[in-house]
Amino acid sequence: MPVASAGPGFELNATAASVLGFLLDGPRAGWDIATAIEGSLGDFWNVTRSQIYRELRTLTGHGLVEPGQTGARDRRPYTITADGRAAFLAWLDQEPGDDVVRIPLLLELFFADRLDDPTLGRHVAVHRARHAERLDRYRQLAALAEAAGDHRAHLLRYGILHEEAVLAWFDTLPWG
């Protein structure tokens, strides 16, 4: 787990760091950050809205972000401070931690001999479809990103290669 010290004695966690990262190009409310992450990194970097709000509170406490005027529906935009930028950069500098992965389908397959084939087949089919959808989505987005010279195309290429591998794997399974 990567961990950075921002100023004396305070550890920035990876979730907080990603929040800071999304504030770099301008003030955003928790909601905005959530949808931005969801729409870009979402599949490789899991976060929930509540985490974001929590981190925004603690980041405020440490002076790394500053809340602005609250607007409609209590919408409160946060601005990153100079300290916040510094903390984010320091965090980025750390070596990234290990992947955290939980794939319930594989857990189920591990116990495949306890389960009947039709059920297994159904479950496999559902997940296969999800992955196929994702691959599609990634391909479309990658075309755009690649054309625009967006370095985020790297992530999409990751997604594409990963999803292709997963689909190839599905094809080797004896169910579905």
C-alpha 38/C-alpha 40 separation (Å) is 6
Burial tier of 80 (Cβ tally within 10 Å: 0-12, 13-18, 19+): buried
Q: Which one, 47 or 120, has the nearer CB to DNA?
A: 47
Interface characters, 46-85, with DNA (x: CB under 7 A): xxxxxx-xx--x------------x-xxxxx---------
Least distance between a second copy and beta carbon 48 (Å):
11
Q: Are 45 and 18 in contact (CB under 8 A)?
A: yes
**Which residues on adjacent β-strands are paired with residue 65?**
80
C-alpha 138/C-alpha 18 separation (Å) is 21
C-alpha 114/C-alpha 109 separation (Å) is 9
152 lies in the site for a second copy, by CB under 8 A: yes
Binding site for a second copy (CB under 8 A): 1-2, 14, 17-18, 21, 24, 40-41, 43-46, 88-89, 92-93, 95-115, 119, 122-123, 126-127, 130, 151-152, 154-155, 157-158, 161-162, 164-166, 168-169, 172-173
Binding site for DNA (CB under 7 A): 1, 11, 13-15, 29-32, 46-51, 53-54, 57, 70, 72-76, 100, 102
